[in-house]
Amino acid sequence: MRGIRRTLNLPALLMMCFILLTFTMPVGSAWAGQNQSIELPITGMTCAACSLAVKTVLKRLDGIHQVRVSFEKKTAVVIYNPQQVTPEQMAQAVNDTGKFGTDLHAVENYPQREDTKNGSKNLLLFQSQ
């Protein structure tokens, strides 16, 4: 009885592995753990086209992997690499348009520190490593 013998075609196998890895890796980063997400409140949006303008401004920054802007919610959800870009740089880019703005103080769960002099909370702009 003759059995079916399958030969291993190494180039085809390598190509399949390449395709599988290409489509399963996170965009722009080899390690999913590097990326973070932040939801920025956006002011000044008056129409749906404004959301495209905000998205374009944010996507121009290095380290931004994905931007979803909601005109209805007036927010931008950004997936980014914190080793390449900071929320402060994102806020600065949005604010520099002159038409739109964002306030990191309004970001939920954004790191803040207690001011020991007057007990108020201030935005933590820099974290020591």
Is the pTM for the entire model greater than 0.85?
Answer: no
Angle between helix axes 48-59 and 87-95 (nearest 10 degrees) is 130
CATH of the domain at 92: 3.30.70.100
Mean predicted confidence (pLDDT) in 76-99: 93
* Residue 38 covered by a domain: yes
What is the rounded distance in angstroms from the CA atom of residue 74 to the CA atom of residue 34? 26
Question: pLDDT > 70: what percent of the chain?
Answer: 60
Whether 97 shows a pLDDT value over 80: the answer reads yes
- The residue range of the domain holding 97 is 34-104
* Residue 16 covered by a domain: no
**Residue 43, pLDDT score:** 92
Residues contacting residue 69 through CB under 8 Å, at least 6 positions apart: 42, 51, 52, 54, 55, 58, 75, 76, 77
* Residue 7 covered by a domain: no
* Residue 72 covered by a domain: yes
* Residue 86 covered by a domain: yes
Structurally, how many domains does the chain consist of?
1
